[in-house]
Amino acid sequence: MHKIHGFCEPRFKAVEAVFQRHFNEQKEVGASFSAYLKGQRVIDIWAGHADANRTQTWNEDTIVNVFSTTKIMGSLCLLMLVDRGLIDLNAPVAKYWPEFGQAGKENVPVKYLLSHSSGVSGFDQKVSVQDLYDSDRMAAMLAAQKPWWKPGTKSGYQTVSFSFLIGHLVKLVSGKTLGTFFRDEIANPLGIDFHIGTPAELDPRIADVISKPVPVSWIEKNFLRVATPVTAKGILNPDPNQLVPASNTRAWRACELPSSNGHGNARSVAQVGAILASGGSFGGKALLSSKTVEAAITRQISGWDKVLCINMEWGLGFQLNAKTTRIGPRSFGWYGYGGSSCMMDRDLNASVAYVMNNCSNNLLTDRRAAKLFQSFRACL
């Protein structure tokens, strides 16, 4: 039996029991889970190992790549600029990024980038993982593209393109890269151990991402039976079987991909979530107005997502009302490849996060995360 480390309030012991069971059932190598309720940390637990060979302990300060859960942080950065009056959600992206205003995107508003309804859900050209490290080139490529459908009429998950759509806009308006903005405006002031562009000195604390190649049979079962060419371009470019292994390299860790390469643990992810769950404040510091948070968790578009091939309900940067992971009446959040997840609820003022290194093949809801979040909700 794996020893569970950390802190869990007695009323949430059922959540800790689920966490323990996942280790007992060999579903985990290393993982952490954390929850904040009304601004107070009520769960902060971790266990297991940071490497596939199980020679390095997963510690209190272990961090790991959380893949698309990073989109929560990227969205928060852009929303802060909105809150400061520097970006108008209804204004065309081209107001701030003139090169974007071409090829049928002249009137695409900023809010479409956050609601994944811009029609720019990926790249027309084949790209490699290494291409992603040149953010200016990727942004220019997307700016020149035609949208894949009429913007605003359908959502299409911006799997990787989100990095360059949101990241470039933040850079143009703030004068800082998104990773630097996050560090200077959020992480450092609030003491949050989350990084978009992770320095080499943190490598000893970073757990390995453990993942097997995605089998063709799994892709066929889960996507190809309902997929369109948009699905393939949106999810399979660059090739996930190249991208995931690259996540253990220094080049990947160092670059800034607000769609995909944030590094943190459940504690730091839940802390970011607590900012939004509270209405914009954390640790006595206000980052957003409640008005902006309410706008972010108001439905922008719903229905069949052209990339994910499932029905989705999107706010500004977040999925709303997810059936299997919701923790309350007004839940919102997002997930990362392999299992990492964060769910927040405005009415409860609650934020929960799960982070691990043993990846499942799930692009969205992970069963381990769902069980933990459901257990948390049952304890309330």
DSSP secondary-structure letter at 306? T
Closest by alpha carbon to 118, among 127, 132, 106?
106
- Using the CB atoms, write b or e for 110-146: b if 16+ within 10 Å: bbbbbbbbbbbbbbeeebebeebbebeebbebbbebe
360 near 353, Cβ under 8 Å?
no
| Dist CA 75 CA 80 (whole Å) | 9
Angle at 23 between CA 58 and CA 247, to 5 degrees: 50
329 near 347, Cβ under 8 Å?
yes
324 near 372, Cβ under 8 Å?
no
Domains of the chain: 5-379 (3.40.710.10)
State residue 230's pLDDT score.
87
List per-residue pLDDT tens for the chain, 380 residues long: 789 999 999 999 999 999 999 999 999 999 999 999 999 999 999 999 999 999 999 999 999 999 999 999 999 999 999 999 999 999 999 999 999 999 999 999 999 999 999 999 999 999 999 999 999 999 999 999 999 999 999 999 999 999 999 999 999 999 999 999 999 999 999 999 999 999 999 999 999 999 987 765 666 566 656 667 788 789 889 988 888 899 999 999 999 999 999 999 999 999 999 999 999 999 999 999 999 999 999 999 999 999 998 999 999 999 999 989 999 999 999 999 999 999 999 999 999 999 999 999 776 789 999 999 999 999 99
| Dist CA 25 CA 46 (whole Å) | 16
Angle at 33 between CA 30 and CA 38, to 5 degrees: 165
| Dist CA 48 CA 335 (whole Å) | 21
| Dist CA 51 CA 40 (whole Å) | 31
